[in-house]
Structure 1
Amino acid sequence: MRTFSLIMRFTEELGRILVEGWRRFVKAEMYFYLFLLILVIPNIILCYTEPLSLMAKICNVLLPFGVYYLVMTLSRNYGRTFWILFPVLFFGAFQIVLLFLYGQSVIAVDMFLNLITTNYGEAMELLDNLMPAITLVVLLYVPALIFATMSIIGKRKLSSVFLSRERPIAILALIIGIFSLGISYLADKNYKPMTDLYPVNVCYNVYLAFQRDAKTCRYYQTSDSFTYQAKASHPLKEREVYVMVVGETARSQNWALNGYDRPTNPELRKVKGLTSFTQAFTETNTTHKSVPMLLSPITAYNFDSIYYQKGIITAFKEAGFRTAFFSNQRYNNSLIDFLGKEADTWNFLKERAINANHIVYDDELLELVSNELKSRDRKQFIVLHTYGSHFNYKERYPSEMAFFKPDTPMDATAKNRNSLLNAYDNTIRYTDYFLARLIRLLNEEDMNAALLYTSDHGEDIYDDDRHLFLHASPIASSYQLHVPFLIWMSDKYQQTYPESLKAVQANKVKRVSSSASFFQTMLELGGIKTPYLNDSLSVTSHLYAGRPGVYLNDHNKACLLNEEQSNCNNTSR
């Protein structure tokens, strides 16, 4: 006890000396200005990253600066005021990391929703590889918060004279900021504070994120009475099995089937009855929106209807099929999970993993499929959700299947692009292996069988001078939107429904919206008749008309794309 008491006294004395030294050598006014500068840093950075007019950029700095300035003058206890503004600091830190990762745009609605739907393992894999940005944020914000805390403990306060002098200046800065806002609004018809003024736009996006999450939580109630009125049109006596595979983060550019110059598809090249659509594009680059669109008739033009409709599994169930949903992703209480659990049988492989670091490869889904096929039901429909090519790439395939080397290091930097690309291409080869084995399972018996595959979105891997990496960026690149789209038909299916094969061959060179056509094509393959079937969107129909490029932006507005420019401004403009 005596030793402990001495340690405590020593610690207290050391703390007193440090605080006293800090108070003597650093004036409180210096920290007032430092804190003010730290608060406005994200606004300054966004002036260089956002495509706004000069007046809009001036407004985006002056108006928030005036607000922060005035708030900081409202209390002598500047440390406490700085802590009260912690939400602004949190958004600022988040914004800086986002800019490091994607290069531009404010924190999007989908970013906040990704925080909810991303599991711990995925988050740690990403954070481990964003250390430069995280280090910058820590060096910028943590010392400032420590100094603010020390000022509170040391009871340091600003003088009334100083605040009286600074407050009129703060008010003047705020008035100039408001005046610049008016000019920006009048001069630029596209400028809107709710989408263009930081951090107002971030706060608005937080509101939208909570609103969407609330709708998701009410999904079971809002979709309860929905029905497809679906009926089977194929002969009841014929055994038929249809498999829908939703891939993860696979981009079309890295598939040898689509012209890539590396051997990423050695197995699928040998598969008979397989057709690859080289011009397929997703309508969103985020998983939590893309997969529900693939599993339902929802498109970029009517996305908000997703909360009131059930998925394709329900359509097949209504038509008399035994249904199954198997996922190699974690359950996260999202629309994806709700649509999957409509099945008679469902299983989330990662939920039975020993711990968050335990690796579960996609080929474990094949065992579930094999067991499901043993039921011998005459009509079966199976949906698989793989983990595919999701970062960290090297964790998506067994080490003995690494074909392209070196596949390390995996740090998220442009200088590591060769190893990142090698590992990514290994994930595509592993997907090739997985799909080929799945097709062999379906081909083991003489029956009508078909498989449909696409990916939810693609990926950036430092492909050009923009140095973009990963997916779900507020402004998507063509690498994130261009996805593989495959159809396989068994020999018997081709013989039974030759018109479907003929239509596929005729349509394979056309542009395809995977988001709009995946659901419709699967219904057509399975012979499901419903008022929600749209032949003009099914690539197995001679009525297929193609579809112009469309992208669902962060505020769920459908934006038209063209062949040359696969970007869509992610605001509500």
Structure 2
Amino acid sequence: MILVVMIPNLLLVVIGEDSVVASLLKKIVFGILCFAIVITPLIFLKPKYYSWFSIILLPLILFETSIINHFKAPSSEETVATIFLTNYYEIVELVRGNIISSIWAFVLFILLVFISFKTNKNFKLSLKTKKIIFTFIFSFFSVLYIRNYMAAKKLNNNRKETFSAANYSLKVQLNKVFPLDILFKLNEAYKGIQEKKNYKKSIEKFRFNTTKKDTLNDQEIYVLVIGETARKHNFSLYNYSRKTSPNLDTLSNVFAFKNANTTANLTSLSIPFIFTRATPQKPQLKFTEPAIINGYKEAGFKTYWISNQSTGVGSVFGFYSSLADVYKNTSVSLDAANYDETLFPVLQDILDDTTTKKKFIVIHTLGSHFRYNYRYPDSYQKFKPTLNRSLSIENTNDISKKKELINSYDNSILYTDYVISNFINQIKKQNAVSFLYYISDHGENLYDDENKKLLHGYINPTKYEIEVPLIIWTSKKYKKEYTNKISNLNKNIHSRISSTNTFHTLLDLSNIQYPTEKLRKSFVSNQFDSLQIRYFYSTNKEILKLDK
């Protein structure tokens, strides 16, 4: 029975590409962790009852095993959420399409029932055995937590942050162990679905009252690409010494804004400042007003959201993406090797959609999310040496790994350049009035100075976390149709720009107006405040002034 419950965990150890099993030592530790969790119920349950528990878990065992077998990583919250949305007909179709697997599942079910039937109800483990199990579990978790604490101590300056990081590490580890991972994610997915319903209910009467200022006969395709952990300093487009953006460097009609800042250095905090009219001074607007998706829908556009990130059903991504007419997620796990090119065919299907001539498309990329070396295929391993696949956050906190970190990060930027340019080429072939607007959620530290900071999310952010790439491409037809807007893009190439300008600029770029618009916040408008004072929303919710 223990072995049956362990099947998903054992499969992850054998074939997984997740960071929890990225080296032999990690495989061993993770295997012991899984075993400790799986045998814990035996302290309280008789083996007979444990067998019933195994039978009840069987559908989830099969579900998780299939996910790991396919993706080489545990299920995500979004994947688990499909359990709530699956109907009888989809289950029948799944069984018919996987006859051999279904037969094995049935055989396993019969075996479990047989073992359960043969297990004596009066049989129970001795008190001595239970004490041994408890001692083993307690000792293992103590050692594991001490290890997490010591690793966190190297990355954090004070005790509170260290304990917080150690607790987070343990939570991540437990969220990979079956059956805990499924139970946690089922709970989060259920809460997320309810929160999403509440969000949509709270904004259902809100209207921007947007209208298109013209009636173009041409097809219109406007695309917002959200980058991940990309800092401008490592793009050759921004004068980086390495040739990391060869495609964008040479593409025509590309505007790279030199002085763009993010408004927060954590994804969950920064995204609302891009998609809504929320500001550091008015952060509550992220939940009381709809995202920009609704502004386009009101103006007659069909809206699409495609993502290659697993972000959580109850996250702001879950809220905002639910507003789109079409939603598609190609993500696996943030800890698995996954590439943004999986979005190419999805985008092509959208571009081929003939049901409308007006499209607004959001593309959420995986970009340069840590682990950098998992974000690009081998063909983009230009800068060497790079991080190896056994490395994770805990063992890259040594500055001796700086060269490998930067090389891996630069390779991810090189691949991002390929991804963005491919999006542009796909759109260009449509011969439409179109633009692509790319902005990263935040930047990243790479041991850049004497402070030796790595990653992002610090209370006192560095310029490497704040300064992000903001790139706009426009089609020839767009350039011909909106010459004044093109002129203003050129005019503001060095102006102060904040991620909070995105909402206002996108609608203005699309020639969409609304009664409460603030054109001083749109950098394609003649009214743009090019000397605006920009603010930053810190991780401790303090508002920092970035400009004097």
TM bucket by the smaller chain?
0.5 to 0.7
Question: Which residue in 2 is equivalent to 1:475?
Answer: 460
Distance 1:120 1:506, change over 3 A: farther
Cα deviation, residue 441, structure 1? 0.9
Distance 1:254 1:93, change over 3 A: same
The 2-side partners of 1:391 and 1:321 are apart by: 35
Structure of higher CA gyration radius: 1
Find 1:543's aligned residue among 519, 527, 532.
527
Distance 1:415 1:342, change over 3 A: same
Find 2:361's aligned residue among 382, 386, 389.
382
Distance 1:548 1:480, change over 3 A: same
Q: Is the 8 A contact 1:102 1:473 kept in 2?
A: no
The number of aligned residues is 389
The 2-side partners of 1:217 and 1:105 are apart by: 39
Question: Which residue in 1 is equivalent to 2:140?
Answer: none
Report 1:490-505 matches (<5 A). 490-505=475-490
Q: Is the 8 A contact 1:119 1:330 kept in 2?
A: no
1:485 is aligned to 2:463: no
Cα deviation, residue 119, structure 1? 7.7
The 2-side partners of 1:262 and 1:318 are apart by: 44
Q: Is the 8 A contact 2:456 2:465 kept in 1?
A: yes
Distance 1:238 1:301, change over 3 A: same
Cα deviation, residue 93, structure 1? 9.3
The 2-side partners of 1:239 and 1:542 are apart by: 26
Question: Which residue in 1 is equivalent to 2:503?
Answer: 519
Cα deviation, residue 541, structure 1? 1.2
Q: Deviations over 1:12-60 (max 9, x none)?
A: xxxxxxxxxxxxxxxxxxxxxxxxxxxxxxxxxxxxxxxxxxxxxxxxx
The 2-side partners of 1:446 and 1:525 are apart by: 18
The 2-side partners of 1:400 and 1:121 are apart by: 34
Cα deviation, residue 110, structure 1? 11
The 1-side partners of 2:235 and 2:367 are apart by: 13
| Secondary structure in structure 2 of the residue aligned to 1:303 | coil
Distance 1:525 1:96, change over 3 A: farther
The 2-side partners of 1:528 and 1:108 are apart by: 48
1:421 is aligned to 2:421: no
Question: Which residue in 2 is equivalent to 1:285?
Answer: 265
Q: TM-score, normalised by structure 1?
A: 0.62
Find 2:286's aligned residue among 306, 309, 323.
306
Report 1:167-316 matches (<5 A). 218-316=198-296
Q: Is the 8 A contact 1:110 1:554 kept in 2?
A: no
Amino acid at match of 1:325: W
The 2-side partners of 1:498 and 1:553 are apart by: 38
Cα deviation, residue 367, structure 1? 1.1
Find 1:335's aligned residue among 308, 316, 331.
316
Distance 1:359 1:91, change over 3 A: closer
| Secondary structure in structure 2 of the residue aligned to 1:301 | coil
Percent of aligned pairs with the same amino acid? 28
Cα deviation, residue 511, structure 1? 1.5
Amino acid at match of 1:423: S
Distance 1:90 1:119, change over 3 A: closer
Distance 1:115 1:100, change over 3 A: closer
Q: Is the 8 A contact 1:103 1:466 kept in 2?
A: no
1:373 is aligned to 2:358: no
Q: Deviations over 1:54-112 (max 9, x none)?
A: xxxxxxxxxxxxxxxxxxxxxxxxxxxxxxxxxxx999998876553243584499989
| Secondary structure in structure 1 of the residue aligned to 2:495 | coil
Cα deviation, residue 373, structure 1? 0.6
Q: Is the 8 A contact 1:109 1:554 kept in 2?
A: no
Distance 1:511 1:401, change over 3 A: same
Question: Which residue in 2 is equivalent to 1:465?
Answer: 450
Amino acid at match of 1:340: S
Gaps of 5+ in 2: 1-142, 178-191
Cα deviation, residue 536, structure 1? 1.1
Distance 1:92 1:286, change over 3 A: farther
1:344 is aligned to 2:322: no
| Secondary structure in structure 1 of the residue aligned to 2:340 | coil
Q: Is the 8 A contact 1:102 1:468 kept in 2?
A: no
Amino acid at match of 1:538: S
The 2-side partners of 1:389 and 1:495 are apart by: 34
Cα deviation, residue 499, structure 1? 0.3
1:101 is aligned to 2:85: no
Cα deviation, residue 558, structure 1? 2.2
| Secondary structure in structure 1 of the residue aligned to 2:485 | helix
The 2-side partners of 1:521 and 1:341 are apart by: 22
Q: Deviations over 1:370-403 (max 9, x none)?
A: 1101013210010001010011000000012111
Amino acid at match of 1:244: L
Question: Which residue in 2 is equivalent to 1:533?
Answer: 517
Cα deviation, residue 474, structure 1? 2.6
Q: Is the 8 A contact 1:215 1:307 kept in 2?
A: no
Q: Deviations over 1:137-168 (max 9, x none)?
A: xxxxxxxxxxxxxxxxxxxxxxxxxxxxxxxx
Provide the alpha-carbon RMSD of the alignment.
Answer: 3.6
Amino acid at match of 2:338: V
Amino acid at match of 2:362: V
Cα deviation, residue 294, structure 1? 0.9
Cα deviation, residue 253, structure 1? 0.8
Q: Is the 8 A contact 1:460 1:479 kept in 2?
A: yes
| Secondary structure in structure 1 of the residue aligned to 2:284 | helix
The 2-side partners of 1:364 and 1:379 are apart by: 24
Amino acid at match of 1:475: N
The 2-side partners of 1:232 and 1:103 are apart by: 52
Cα deviation, residue 232, structure 1? 1.6
Amino acid at match of 1:366: F
Distance 1:482 1:113, change over 3 A: farther
The 1-side partners of 2:164 and 2:300 are apart by: 36
| Secondary structure in structure 2 of the residue aligned to 1:267 | helix
Cα deviation, residue 502, structure 1? 0.3
The 1-side partners of 2:193 and 2:539 are apart by: 14
Cα deviation, residue 465, structure 1? 1.3
| Secondary structure in structure 1 of the residue aligned to 2:304 | strand
| Secondary structure in structure 2 of the residue aligned to 1:302 | coil
Amino acid at match of 1:237: N
Q: Is the 8 A contact 2:256 2:470 kept in 1?
A: yes
Question: Which residue in 2 is equivalent to 1:129?
Answer: none
Q: Is the 8 A contact 1:331 1:348 kept in 2?
A: no
Q: Is the 8 A contact 1:349 1:360 kept in 2?
A: no
Q: Deviations over 1:491-546 (max 9, x none)?
A: 110110000110010001112112x1111111111122123432111111121113
Cα deviation, residue 237, structure 1? 2.2
